[in-house]
Amino acid sequence: MHAYEMGAEGVFIAGCGEQCSRENTAFWVQKCVERVRKVLADIGLEPERLQAFVLDATNKDPTEDLDKFTEQIDGFYLASIIKQEVKS
């Protein structure tokens, strides 16, 4: 949420998924993403502003996913305007 408070229009999380050396990382990242998406929806922002992607040696280049995410975010109403409306 801090990224949004600082003015980010979207957050792209890239993680190692099940290939991660830390146990249950993918599970905890998914839980965190679900929780933040709910908060975003509760304050009137699109939950799709937060995306998590798994990167590993078998995946394609992540720039395509990042480009799609950027295009999607560009189509949303500015979060800063919505935040001001919520505060009013």
Confidence (pLDDT) at 57: 65
Q: In this predicted model, what pLDDT tens digit does every residue of 13-43 receive, in sequence order? A: 887 767 777 778 888 888 999 999 999 999 8
**Taking Cα atoms as reference points, which of 35, 30, 43, 37 lies closest to residue 11?**
37
Rounded to two decimals, what is the model's pTM? Answer: 0.73
- List pLDDT tens digits, range 35-47: 999 999 998 889 9
Of 9, 6, 4, 16, the residue nearest 52 (C-alpha)? 16
pLDDT in tens, 39-83: 999 988 899 999 988 877 666 677 888 899 888 888 887 755 555
